[in-house]
Amino acid sequence: MNAQAARLASFLVATLLTVGACGGSSGGGVTAQPPPPPPPPPPVGGITRTGVAVAVGPVTAFGSVVVNGITYDTSAADFTVDGQAATQANIAVGDMVLVIGTIDDDNSNAVAESVESDDIVEGPVSSVNTGTEIMVVLGQTVKFGGAIFDDNCPAILNDLLTVAAVEVHGQVMGDGTIDATRIECKNVLLEMEVTGIVSGLGVDTFMINDLVVNFTSAAIDNFPTPGVISDGNPVEVKGNSFVAGTDDLIATRVEFKGNRFGDNEGDHMEIEGFINGFVSELEFNVGITPVTTIPDTTIYEGGSVADLGDNLKVEVEGEFDDTGVLNANKVEIKQAKTVRLTAQVDSVSGNSFVMLGITVNTEQGITRFEDKTGMVGDSFNVGDINTDDYVEVRGQEIPAGSGQIFAEIVERDDFDTEAIIQGFIEANGVNRPLITVLGDTIETNGATIFRNDDESVIADADEFWGRIAAGSLIKAKGTEDMARPRTLIAEEIEIQVE
């Protein structure tokens, strides 16, 4: 086990706290407390299921609560949101949750005893780049391309700068970047929150990524050594003001969020997140949860062992050993959300539907469904989609080259005539003034606006055509030509960065 994994093996941080080690500038003045001694190496195999289940991931559907493809009966569960007692109605699709309960060996009869939800950062937006789909909140870089935005958020994403605060749920990558799963916009900024790993510890400040936290007057809660903060500690910071003229957060409370589980040998866990601290295919972290795989035993889905590496999104299933390391029975490589479609639905059949002539496949418990029309409540799923519904889909082409989309996210919204295709240009798919994506023809004309990935206009059409080729990722907005199936008349086309 590497040094970082050994140090982190003594604790597991729930939901949003499955973060990787984060960077920051150096402080000074206080000597950081040494980490606990590393535990002995984990045994190989030999784990027996106890029936205890721990699941970490975004909510993909309701009925009960669906996390990582498993439906947990929540009829007797206790709910907490941001540390306060709550109900299931206070949790939305896309929220990161920690579910603790019981489950049978075959992943059936899953019953939740508790469901906890918390955001990873809450505060004002300091910058937005709609081209790269990145914004900065309290010094945290947030990728929002795969996020569900609530109805309070503005339709024009640059207007997020005018919102009092955003609450971000998501998973943290190895470089500290947050991959958002849900973003809620708030009209009033009451309290700012950020969760992450302490670095650059000084006399009265530390860093969480690019945010300086001043803890001079903060309550210091639940630390292993009372009142002593150390570099590498996972913490939740709350505050309500910045230092004048800076972006430094004045903390009112700093809470240690490690040591969540103690004696959990044999407990079953399913965790979704990003690999970081990758040493080899046998040893890596998902967030700060140390994982070991077992040659010829661990099953891989959605890819192979050769695909493993830092910043790869995975779902790992397995049992804890007596050192707190998760022994992986299965590693599922999660799909991307690079391809997007927005249009009216042409037809629906089973778990699939067609829009813009493209077949969209879904899977209950994997695809996240969100209804923004108010027609259906939390139980919205593919069975509620009707012909002519206006839907946005995010996912990727599977199988490769099939022209079909597996949907990670499906959102139904109020009717609009605008249609959007985002995808990769096919082989031989650039035939000015036509472009082919996913089997659909995108037709340009003298009125089409061409844009860079930062949304700036490319004034010279020749420059645009010279920059694209087969394999280029583009986003086209326009209207469907109802007289010519699978043809989009492009009002604008934007070159995208994958």
Give the tens place of pLDDT for each residue, 323-355.
778 899 999 887 667 789 999 999 999 999 999
Q: What is the pTM of this model?
A: 0.66
Look at 2-16, 120-134, 159-173, 423-437 and tell me which has the smallest mean pLDDT.
2-16
Give the pLDDT of residue 459.
93
What is the reported pLDDT for 66?
A: 86
- Ranking 7-11, 270-274, 284-288, 315-319 by mean pLDDT, the lowest is 7-11
Give 376-382 contacts, CB < 8 A, sequence gap 24+: 378/62, 378/63, 378/88, 378/89, 378/93, 379/61, 379/62, 379/63, 380/412, 381/61, 382/348, 382/350, 382/351, 382/352, 382/353, 382/410
- Please give the pLDDT value at position 448: 97
pLDDT bin (cut points 50, 70, 90) of residue 181 is very high
- Report the range of poorest mean pLDDT among 92-96, 184-188, 371-375: 371-375
Q: What are phi and psi of 466, to 5 degrees?
A: -75, -15
pLDDT at 246: 66
Mean pLDDT over residues 455-474, rounded? 90
Decide if pLDDT at 30 tops 90.
no
Pick from 429, 491, 409: which is nearest to 457 by CA? 491
Domain residue limits, the chain: 339-495
User: pLDDT of 123-170, one tens digit each?
Assistant: 999 999 987 889 999 999 999 988 999 989 998 889 999 999 999 999
Q: How confident is the model at residue 301 (pLDDT cuts 50, 70, 90)?
A: confident
Residue 244: predicted pLDDT: 57
Q: Is the pLDDT of residue 241 over 80?
A: yes
